[in-house]
Amino acid sequence: MRDVVLLGALLWLVFQGLRSPWIGVLGWTWVSIMNPHALSWRLGDMPVAATMAIATLLGLLMTRDKRQFFTTRETIVLMLFMLWMCITLPFSFHLDESLSLWKRVMKIDFMILVALVLLHSRKHIMALAWVLVGSLGFYGVKGGFFTLLTGGSYRVWGPEGSYIFGNNEIALALVMTIPLMRFLQLSTTSKWIRRGLVVSMLLCAIAALGSQSRGALLAIMAMTLVMWWRGGHKLQLGLLFLVLGSVLVVFMPDTWSDRMATIQTYEADDSAMQRLNAWKMAFNIAKANLFGGGFMVSASDVCAIYSPIPTDCRAAHSIYFMVLGEQGFVGLFLFVLMWTFVWFSAGRLRVQGAKKAQTQWLSSLGAMCQVSLAGYAVGGAFLSLSYYDLPYNILILVVLGCRILDGKEPVAASVPLEHVGKQVGTLESRVRPQ
């Protein structure tokens, strides 16, 4: 029954993508972020994402709806980064393996550019935020309840076969989703939606802690620091964060506390030392090769040449060193430059959006996107999520928000925000496996 319902929902989204390609973008985002087909028995091996992308592209060519082609500093650097990855591909140490991963990254980045062509209004921004929150919130709420029921004795994992299958990766994705939930909470007047989002935020935080990811803990601390610094009543807010954090930490078992304690004694932790070895190897690859080593730089023959400990072959487990080893110093420069631009554009939204009543929601959007990016910048330093969709969708939110702020798109939504939330909630109730 689950497969039948899911297949029907996917076919409906494909049909809607042909008619209204902006809905196809939302369907692609849902499939790419949540991986719902991984929860089914028979649809896991089907090209669901590719089908959704093709329907959206055909809809883009046939639609009479508004399409906008524009460039910003963020999109220019993104396209330069994509171009650089195309240039470096032929120089990959293992071309066949790199080619498959290159295709996956190109599909994600290309659909980000398609989304920027098709999405343009406040309604679109809110709908995209709801899809992101609903897709990852599903795993956060489920993982939070699982952690509570098991006393935190077992780790929380993500959908199999996705970027966020690992406990560390799903934890960072959930941490980055919490600020988006806060943005939606600030943008609605419905008390029930606000209460539901509060519960979801708490459960996502519990699930992130239940993953026993040290990187996620550092990301939560970084985000909390940004929110405390930006907020008023710093003493009261600081005490609230301290109490909530203490309650959550006390709830977790001793195994969790022991694992988190290794952050301070990383020299004695094998996992931490293996990451340092992988980072040194990435630096050595970039130093010796202008174009980096491609997407498979952790192979044993590569380690034998570039790793300080040739027998220890590990992935970089860092968005920065991952790009450095794979794309060289030029690639790392473009990667960091792109997210720096997104950060400052979100900051402009936060500051300038607060000056007018009708753009207050843009101020909240910019502030919460910055909080999410802070989690990505800190937590990502210890995780291999350089090409994961979620941060690039935050780029979409920021770029579209800036266009509205600059008067290039209408400020007012065509429908109330609560109606948008209900529409997306209805959509997700139809498509989410029961």
* Domain hosting residue 52, numbered range: 1-65
Same domain, 26 and 152: no
Give 71's DSSP letter: -
User: Is 385 a domain residue?
Assistant: yes
User: Is 267 a domain residue?
Assistant: yes
Same domain, 113 and 177: yes
Tens digits of pLDDT across the chain (434 residues)? 677 888 888 888 888 888 889 999 999 999 889 888 777 767 767 778 888 899 999 988 887 777 888 889 999 999 999 999 999 999 998 888 889 889 999 999 999 999 999 999 999 999 999 999 999 999 999 988 888 888 777 778 877 777 788 788 888 899 899 999 999 999 988 999 999 999 999 899 888 887 777 777 778 878 878 877 776 555 666 666 666 666 566 555 555 555 555 555 544 455 667 778 888 988 999 999 999 988 877 677 788 888 888 777 777 788 999 999 999 999 999 999 999 999 999 999 999 999 988 999 999 999 999 999 999 999 888 888 899 999 999 999 999 999 999 887 666 544 444 554 554 454 444 444 43
Same domain, 174 and 47: no
End-to-end CA distance of the chain: 9
User: Is 285 a domain residue?
Assistant: no
How many domains in the chain? 2
**Distance between CA 169 and CA 421 in Å, rounded?**
27
Q: Which residues contact 172 (CB under 8 A, 6 or more apart)?
A: 164, 208, 213, 215, 216, 219, 375, 376, 379, 380, 383, 385
Q: Are 297 and 93 in contact (CB under 8 A)?
A: yes
Same domain, 105 and 218: yes
Phi then psi for residue 41, to 5 deg, are -90, -35
Same domain, 138 and 110: yes
Same domain, 59 and 78: no
User: Is 284 a domain residue?
Assistant: no
Same domain, 392 and 250: yes
The pLDDT value recorded for residue 251 is 56
Q: Which of 46, 65, 84 is the last residue of a domain?
A: 65
Same domain, 312 and 186: yes
Same domain, 53 and 118: no
User: Is 295 a domain residue?
Assistant: no
Nearest 10 degrees: Cα torsion 401, 228, 341, 295: -110
Please, how many CA atoms are within 13 Å of residue 28, restricted to the half-sphere of its CB? Answer: 29
User: Is 290 a domain residue?
Assistant: no
The two tokens of residue 324 are: 């450095």
pTM of the model: 0.85
User: Is 289 a domain residue?
Assistant: no
Same domain, 313 and 174: yes
Q: Which of 43, 65, 87 is the last residue of a domain?
A: 65
Q: Are 23 and 17 in contact (CB under 8 A)?
A: yes
Same domain, 156 and 35: no
Same domain, 13 and 33: yes
User: Is 283 a domain residue?
Assistant: no
